[in-house]
Protein backbone atom coordinates (compact mmCIF):
# COMPACT_ATOMS: atom_id res chain seq x y z
CA UNK A 1 0.00 0.00 0.00
CA UNK A 2 1.41 3.34 -1.06
CA UNK A 3 0.18 6.89 -0.52
CA UNK A 4 0.05 8.06 -4.15
CA UNK A 5 0.25 6.91 -7.75
CA UNK A 6 3.72 8.34 -8.35
CA UNK A 7 5.13 6.35 -5.45
CA UNK A 8 3.36 3.21 -6.70
CA UNK A 9 4.77 3.60 -10.21
CA UNK A 10 8.30 4.19 -8.91
CA UNK A 11 8.06 1.23 -6.54
CA UNK A 12 6.74 -1.07 -9.27
CA UNK A 13 9.67 -0.19 -11.52
CA UNK A 14 12.20 -0.58 -8.72
CA UNK A 15 10.79 -4.00 -7.71
CA UNK A 16 12.04 -5.51 -10.94
CA UNK A 17 15.44 -3.95 -10.64
CA UNK A 18 16.04 -4.66 -6.97
CA UNK A 19 14.28 -8.00 -6.45
CA UNK A 20 14.35 -9.46 -9.96
CA UNK A 21 10.56 -9.63 -10.19
CA UNK A 22 9.84 -11.02 -13.65
CA UNK A 23 6.17 -10.16 -14.01
CA UNK A 24 5.34 -6.48 -14.19
CA UNK A 25 3.60 -5.56 -10.93
CA UNK A 26 0.00 -4.41 -11.28
CA UNK A 27 -0.88 -0.97 -9.88
CA UNK A 28 -4.39 -0.64 -8.45
CA UNK A 29 -6.16 2.37 -6.91
CA UNK A 30 -7.87 1.51 -3.64
CA UNK A 31 -10.39 4.23 -2.72
CA UNK A 32 -11.05 4.59 0.96
CA UNK A 33 -14.55 3.59 2.02
CA UNK A 34 -17.11 6.25 1.14
CA UNK A 35 -14.63 8.55 -0.60
CA UNK A 36 -14.73 9.53 -4.27
CA UNK A 37 -11.87 12.04 -4.21
CA UNK A 38 -8.60 10.82 -5.75
CA UNK A 39 -6.81 12.44 -2.80
CA UNK A 40 -8.49 9.87 -0.54
CA UNK A 41 -7.01 6.82 -2.15
CA UNK A 42 -4.16 4.46 -1.52
CA UNK A 43 -2.33 2.65 -4.27
CA UNK A 44 -1.51 -1.03 -4.28
CA UNK A 45 1.40 -2.62 -6.09
CA UNK A 46 0.39 -6.23 -6.58
CA UNK A 47 3.20 -8.76 -6.81
CA UNK A 48 2.88 -12.51 -7.13
CA UNK A 49 5.43 -14.57 -5.25
CA UNK A 50 4.17 -18.09 -5.73
CA UNK A 51 7.68 -19.51 -5.32
CA UNK A 52 8.08 -17.60 -2.03
CA UNK A 53 11.49 -16.31 -3.01
CA UNK A 54 10.95 -12.70 -1.86
CA UNK A 55 11.98 -11.90 1.71
CA UNK A 56 9.10 -10.39 3.71
CA UNK A 57 11.39 -8.18 5.84
CA UNK A 58 13.13 -6.83 2.73
CA UNK A 59 9.74 -6.06 1.15
CA UNK A 60 8.61 -4.30 4.35
CA UNK A 61 11.71 -2.10 4.26
CA UNK A 62 11.25 -1.51 0.53
CA UNK A 63 7.63 -0.34 0.98
CA UNK A 64 8.74 1.91 3.82
CA UNK A 65 11.04 3.79 1.45
CA UNK A 66 7.87 5.17 -0.19
CA UNK A 67 6.01 5.64 3.12
CA UNK A 68 3.99 2.52 2.40
CA UNK A 69 3.56 -0.90 3.93
CA UNK A 70 3.23 -4.51 2.83
CA UNK A 71 0.06 -6.56 3.17
CA UNK A 72 -0.56 -10.19 2.37
CA UNK A 73 -3.86 -11.53 1.01
The stretch 19-46 carries a mean pLDDT of 79
- Check pLDDT > 60 for residue 4: yes
Q: What is the pTM of this model?
A: 0.79
Rounded to an integer, the average pLDDT of 24-47 is 78
Do 2 and 67 form a contact (C-beta atoms < 8 A)? yes
**Sequence-distant (≥ 6) Cβ neighbours of residue 69 within 8 angstroms:** 1, 60, 63
For the ranges 8-12, 15-19, 20-24, 37-41, which has the lowest average pLDDT?
A: 37-41
For residue 31, pLDDT over 80 is answered with no
Of 38, 36, 37, 58, which Cα lies nearest the Cα of 49? 58
Alpha carbons within 13 angstroms on the beta-carbon side of residue 17 total 6
Amino acid sequence: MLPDRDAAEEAAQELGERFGVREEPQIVRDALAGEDDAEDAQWLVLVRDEDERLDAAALDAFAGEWEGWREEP
